[in-house]
Amino acid sequence: MDLKILLPFRIFAEETGVSRIVAETRQGSFGILPHRLDCVAALAPGILTFETLAGGEVFVAVDEGVLVKTGPEVLVSVRRALDGSELGQLREAVEREFLTVNEREKSVRSILAKMEGDLIRRMARLRSD
């Protein structure tokens, strides 16, 4: 299989000769082998694992994104990715950087929703007066 990991502004990794891929979704991990049917999956922040004949097993920490398999090509499009050799350090990086930022984003979205609601109520009061 050919694997491409895409970030918003660049290609993070491009590998050929990939023999297997393991990715994480909200429902759990799943594996992809070369003859698997085409599929699409929403990825959760976690560790993407793939194996090549030349390089062995590789671990990449990925943020939320999408995995698309069509024929021998697998595209992974994520907001952020980190590579490293130590699986424990990558897991800590996912928890520290990706999951913490998601919690901050939820908080900011909640505050913005309250501000928008308040603005709409004020505009409705002005309109009715």
Residue 18 CA neighbour count, 13 Å, CB half:
28
In this prediction, residue 6 carries a pLDDT of 96
How far apart, in whole angstroms, are the C-alpha atoms of residue 24 and residue 43?
Answer: 6
Q: What is the pLDDT of residues 16-51, one digit of tens each?
A: 999 999 999 989 999 999 999 999 999 988 889 999
How far apart, in whole angstroms, are the C-alpha atoms of residue 32 and residue 115?
Answer: 44
How far apart, in whole angstroms, are the C-alpha atoms of residue 101 and residue 106?
Answer: 9
What's the pTM? 0.71
pLDDT at 83 over 80: yes
How far apart, in whole angstroms, are the C-alpha atoms of residue 50 and residue 93?
Answer: 18
In this prediction, what percent of the chain has a pLDDT beyond 70?
94
